[in-house]
Structure 1
């Protein structure tokens, strides 16, 4: 990732933290629950945030979306609650910093995100792992805008981005976007 994209990635994360929420599935709100389970140094996660998830804010999709970011990804927790991240110690530090940015003191740390990630049903297979109303998108992740539009059952009008011409443009651009993923069963860097 180029230095400019890396800076944009972190700025995008900070902006998105403002909109993060703890709800996993649709409840009292009419909004679609869009969750991103990721790890900070995963190239595919960075790419998805910069090139994909940013569409929530580049359009009016944010009006029907409750976005939750969960910075844990494919990390593992030992019996003594030590976290080992897939991309090494630096990633663990960055995940913890992002967790702190999402939740303000005194409840900032990564173990809550570990619990949230490790209790997913079905279990995540890779990151970025995106769910809409608690259901994983799997190969439809590149078309997550259409999936959010489809999942919206609220009374307000659909956002402009959900109209068919905007979605077809989005789908056309997604055909060239091949998402990289980091599989959960890949080796962990210690």
Structure 2
């Protein structure tokens, strides 16, 4: 795209060289210069291309959690989901289920129902893009029984998601394999996790990041993003986070 733009500017030079005594490399430095050299449209196209090429990368947020962990559920409801709703264009994030136990056999900290909830949410992520899966998971986590099939069905229906496929997955070999993959990702954390919820920012975890995420994730993402700040970032005020 950039090469094509430069070619267009060179062609214009043939027509306007008698009127424009400014070197081509300076034609797009200002609106007045572009106008005097007759290359307004070409410069507009060039700058648009440059803005696209220089777009700031999204902030990557990952949450390692357990479906029945009170702190995890609180964090999803008070920080992660509200932040995603306001800054979904700025952030990419993933939800990683935290598991305890040997391969294929999972012992969940909050009992067997948590294991059920974990695999249901893992299958939800497997079959749906994050923009579809996360509202469903947030809905289930807002309920005291995210493992309950009726709760899952209600949340899935609310966002037009096929829950029967998710439920089938959660009771299958596929669901068990997906949970094992989540366990491997959790075990690969560096530094190793010592509690949940466990937050990483652009792949990094520190106690400062954890504290800031739990206090005001919106502000943390806004401060980390290197591009032009959206209006939502002006609302990133300090708030208290309580377990």
Determine helix, strand or coil for the equivalent of 1:55. Answer: helix
Larger helix fraction of residues? 2
User: Of 106, 115, 127, which aligns to 1:83?
Assistant: 106
TM-score calculated relative to the size of structure 2: 0.52
Shift of residue 68 of structure 1?
A: 0.5
Determine helix, strand or coil for the equivalent of 1:50. Answer: helix
Find the aligned partners of 2:220 and 2:78 in 1 and give their Cα distance.
17
* Cross-structure match for 2:191: 122
Find the aligned partners of 1:30 and 1:84 in 2 and give their Cα distance.
38
User: Of 125, 135, 139, which aligns to 2:211?
Assistant: 139
1:54 aligns with 2:123: no
Find the aligned partners of 2:79 and 2:197 in 1 and give their Cα distance.
11
* Cross-structure match for 2:94: 68
Higher relative contact order (CA 8 A, sep 6+): 1
1:151 aligns with 2:224: yes
Find the aligned partners of 2:82 and 2:210 in 1 and give their Cα distance.
18
Determine helix, strand or coil for the equivalent of 2:68. Answer: coil
Find the aligned partners of 1:111 and 1:158 in 2 and give their Cα distance.
38
Change (3 A) 1:150 1:107: farther
Deviation >3 Å, runs of 4+: 105-108
User: Of 44, 62, 80, which aligns to 2:71?
Assistant: 44
Find the aligned partners of 1:138 and 1:124 in 2 and give their Cα distance.
11
* Cross-structure match for 1:8: none
Larger strand fraction of residues? 1
Task: Work out the number of aligned pairs and report it.
Answer: 139
* Cross-structure match for 2:126: 103
Shift of residue 81 of structure 1?
A: 3.2
Larger Rg belongs to? 2
Determine helix, strand or coil for the equivalent of 1:37. Answer: strand
Alpha-carbon RMSD across the aligned residues, in angstroms, is 2.2
Determine helix, strand or coil for the equivalent of 2:236. Answer: helix
* Cross-structure match for 1:113: 182
Shift of residue 107 of structure 1?
A: 5.7
- Maintained 8 Å contact 2:83/2:217: no
